[in-house]
Amino acid sequence: MARKIRRREFLGTAAASTLLNTHALGREASEASPVSGREVRLEFLRPKEIEEAQSARPTIFQPLGTIEWHGVHNIVGVDSVKAHALCVRAARKGGGLVSPTVYGGVGGVDQPHTFVMDPENNIFSRLLRPWLEQLCREMARDGFRAIIMLTGHYGAAQQIVVRETAVRMSRVLAIPVLGTPEYMLALDVGYTGDHAAWGETSLMMHLYPDTVDLSRLGEPPHQGVGGRDPRESSAEDGRLITETIVSRLATLARNMPGWDRKTLERFIDSEAALVAKQLSAPGGKGSLWTAWQNIGKVMRDYGKQLAEEDFEKIKASVAKL
């Protein structure tokens, strides 16, 4: 007969398990990092440490993700943990702090173990948009002078909500707020965004190698996977993608707090143009994705141009989408 477990016993065991799992993920990201292990996770810092970090570099990263099926070979937290790991590495390299990941976004694949908080095509978002708005307000009130929202979950509506919110809050707060999916910073190395396919799986093989099991994949088609065959993934490809994204995020973290009004306006203008293009896509089934059809080719240098503050070239590229 199974022994009855008392409530206090159960809670203690559950808490210990959660702490161990959280510690393991944090340790993996830290040990895999090519830069110093300086603590940049906001929730692990004391007030004095936060103030010192803000004084040195008043930039804060906000990773975004969700719980979603990512094939039989990946964990369901791919979007969230990859975004967080990239932000941590960028903060250690370029300065700034990393806020805890927001789990829960717009849409998700129609597969098991997927938590959908807002409908797939809901560009108005009754949950994520107001949450991000308030986060930005609080971050600015606390003294941060630049905000980078990096979303690892990037359905069409999710991307629009994140970028549009960033543009609007840049205007409201008069500080730069960037909202972008991570793949947009690495289009020029062949990572055009996918779902549990070559790109995301390669990233996870580099960032969290113990979480990927390619042996679980059979012959295609692979359930709930979109993009290049994940069997072609490699940790080396993941390293290249990671280094490209982290380098550009680090540059932005260093420079964004010091942008003058003119630079801020140029930045807002280019990002607003991208939002407008995405929103003006022709009607019809799947119309939200229309503006992404040529993004890998047309916006190939977006990440490089963003880091170099070449906003006019970004706007010119947007016009060709």
Per-residue model confidence as pLDDT tens digits over 103-127: 998 999 999 999 999 988 888 889 9
- The answer, yes or no, to whether residue 184 has pLDDT greater than 50, is yes
What's the pTM value of the predicted model, to 2 decimals? 0.88
Structural domains in the chain plus CATH codes: 41-258 (3.40.50.10310)
Q: What is the pLDDT of residue 284?
A: 44
Instruction: Give the separation between CA 147 and CA 97, rounded to whole angstroms.
Output: 10
Hey, how many other C-beta atoms are within 10 angstroms of the C-beta on 182? 29
Q: Per-residue confidence at 42, pLDDT binned at 50, 70, 90?
A: very high
- The answer, yes or no, to whether residue 64 has pLDDT greater than 80, is yes
Among residues 204, 164, 178, the alpha carbon closest in space to that of 303 is found at 178
- The answer, yes or no, to whether residue 20 has pLDDT greater than 80, is no
Q: What is the pLDDT of residue 278?
A: 86
Q: What percentage of the chain exceeds 90 in pLDDT?
A: 78
- Helix or strand holding residue 54 (H, E): helix 47-56
- The DSSP symbol for 241 reads H
Could you check whether the bond before residue 230 is cis, i.e. omega within 30 degrees of 0?
no
Among residues 62, 183, 75, the alpha carbon closest in space to that of 128 is found at 62
Q: What is the pLDDT of residue 21?
A: 44
Instruction: Give the separation between CA 184 and CA 245, rounded to whole angstroms.
Output: 9
Sequence-distant (6+) residues with CB within 8 A of 216 are 72, 73
